[in-house]
Amino acid sequence: MISDMRKNGAFLVIVLVFLHFLGYSCKTVPISGRQQMAFLPESVLVNMILTSYNEFLSGNKLSFDAVQTDMKEFLPEAMKY
């Protein structure tokens, strides 16, 4: 019976620690005000994004077609979301 209480107590501690970190890792997005999970620090994410973007650029040609690269039509629609 005592070992069952120890198991339940250990489980409760693990759940409480998990919930604490779950609540701690929720961040508010400044622009929209919504909540999101932050599993990695922003500095790590930015580094990963830049690495991926540089890999993409090294494997793909840049377009110099003004019609395809003009963002005037795309940006107002994208800003709605």
Enter the pTM of the model. Answer: 0.44
Dihedral angle computed from the Cα positions of residues 45, 69, 63 and 48, in that order, rounded to the nearest 10 degrees: 0
Cα–Cα distance for residue pair 59/52, rounded to 1 Å: 11
Is 23 in contact with 37 (CB distance < 8 Å)? no
- Look at the chain and report how many structural domains it folds into: 1
In a domain, 25, yes or no: yes
Confidence of residue 75 (pLDDT cuts 50, 70, 90): low
In a domain, 69, yes or no: no
In a domain, 38, yes or no: yes
Tell me the residue range of the domain where 39 lies. 2-61
In a domain, 8, yes or no: yes
Query: Tell me, what's the pLDDT at 78?
Result: 62
In a domain, 73, yes or no: no
In a domain, 43, yes or no: yes
In a domain, 76, yes or no: no
